[in-house]
Amino acid sequence: MLEVFHSCGLFAADLTHQVHPSNDVPLVLKVLGLLVVGAPAVLFATLGIASLLRSKPLSERVIARCIQTGILTGLTAAIAMLGLMLLWNDTQIPIELGSWVQMENPAEHYHYHFIFKFEFDRLSVPFVILTFVLCGTIGAFANRYMHRERGFNRFFVLLSLFVVGMVTTSLAGTVETLFSGWELVGLSSALLVAFFHERSAPASNGLHVWIIYRVSDAALLMASVALHHMKGEGDFDGFLAGEWPMGRTLLEPNQAFFVGLLLLIAAMGKSAMIPFSGWLPRAMEGPTPSSAVFYGALSVHLGAFLLLRFSPILEQSLIVRILIVVVGLSTALFATFAGTVQTDIKSALSFASMSQVGLIFAEIGLGCYYLALVHILGHGCLRTLQFLRAPTLLYDYRTMEDAIGERLPKFSGMWQGKTSERVRTWYYRLALERGYMDAYLKECIVRPVLSALRKCDEFEHRWTRMLGGTVIEKKPSSEASSAFEELL
């Protein structure tokens, strides 16, 4: 892909000065960039405001037209942006939307500013084009799949919110912008897992996904605070020099290790790496279109995208890169092992996605950044097709069985005849329980944290009563904490 950029740029270099005046380039690119970002934002605002202000929701046809217009506008602008970048040999285009917060203290050498900045480069443009293509495909599919569903309008409002989050995260040029899109993706994902809220299981699993996302978000927030403390700003240019992926970091090795470790934890939670892998099969409670675009194609790759974006920081720390490879390969083996015993097709596909994302993590840890990017693009398209084909595949499978009058033959594993029944039963139970990851997470992390918080709460009440001289009733928290533990 790098060679394509350079060859196309060199081929068009002589035509550049004759095709356009130099002062028109920033304006054209900025308009296209604002269309890429603004089209999904306007789409979400239109559907959201209409849902709040109208007593009756928009018709399915109007919603479908809005989705089609918003996605096609953003996709067309993104493709035009890519074409102009190739034509004008410009591989990094930043677009700033003004300074929102600015604080300075020259005496203490303190400087902080917050801006919404979007950056179009070799990493963000392919990822945002993939987002528009797959979300447009899912929108067209869901228009028929969700027909006459009571939550039809709510589904597309959340889908448009997801598109806004994905575009914001993909094109982010600052840590604050990236974190904003990261949160929008997590919020829309959790709400769509709990889409069928009239049943208890989707609501419980949606809350489970949200809790795991909180761990990931906390790690990313700590990394953002650390970067601000180290460099005084959240702009990528402040701690990343050069174009992706040949850039370098301006952080010291110990700083890169600390930030890289936090980024790894954030990516592990978002991409369902072990030990946070238990939420991915639970997320299959949502509608099939959301499962396809979120946990098969886009959202599950967001952790890998985060590592690719901060790859120069990872290059500075060998230990973090080794940890990424270990986590990726371990997750790929675990997902392959657990996926062999799944009894429903969506769970089997979720573990297949998990195994491929694990391999992508390993490629990033080994420094194969372009290979990882191509792997993400190909795997996202393939997995979306498989998820959308799953309902009709089951129908075709049953039709074939009815036609031949018997069950289709089942293929046994290569080790089935070489191991004892006791060993096979033990492995089957281990795979069926998904390696007891959720149990270990509950016993080793959730219970100790809750115990520490309870002790802090008791300590606070004791000192409050002593200093105030009054008896303050302590609200019972056992029921709430036990319910929280049950979610995990």
Q: What is the pLDDT of residues 66-118, one digit of tens each?
A: 999 999 999 999 999 999 888 888 888 888 877 777 776 665 555 667 777 88
Q: Which of 83-87, 368-372, 416-420 has the highest mean pLDDT?
A: 368-372
- pLDDT number for residue 286: 79
Q: What is the mean pLDDT of residues 208-217?
A: 87
Least confident interval from 133-142, 235-244, 261-270? 235-244
Contact 224, 235 (CB under 8 A): no
List residues bridging with 119 in a β-sheet.
94
Q: What is the CA radius of gyration of the chain?
A: 25
Domain range summary for the chain, segments of one domain joined by +? 2-394, 440-487
| φ/ψ (deg, to 5) at 204 | -65, -45
| Chain centre distance of CA 273 | 12
Least confident of 10-24, 230-244, 359-373: 10-24
Q: Taking residues 181-192, report their average pLDDT.
A: 90
pLDDT reading at 411 higher than 60: no
222 contacts: CB under 8 Å, gap ≥ 6: 262
Distances in Å between the Cα of 267 and the Cα atoms of 147, 260, 406 are 35, 10, 46
Q: What is the pLDDT of residue 408?
A: 62
Nearest-angstrom CA–CA distance, 93 and 424: 56
pTM for the predicted model, two decimal places: 0.83
> pLDDT tens for residues 4-50?
434 444 433 443 344 443 344 578 888 888 999 999 999 999 998 98
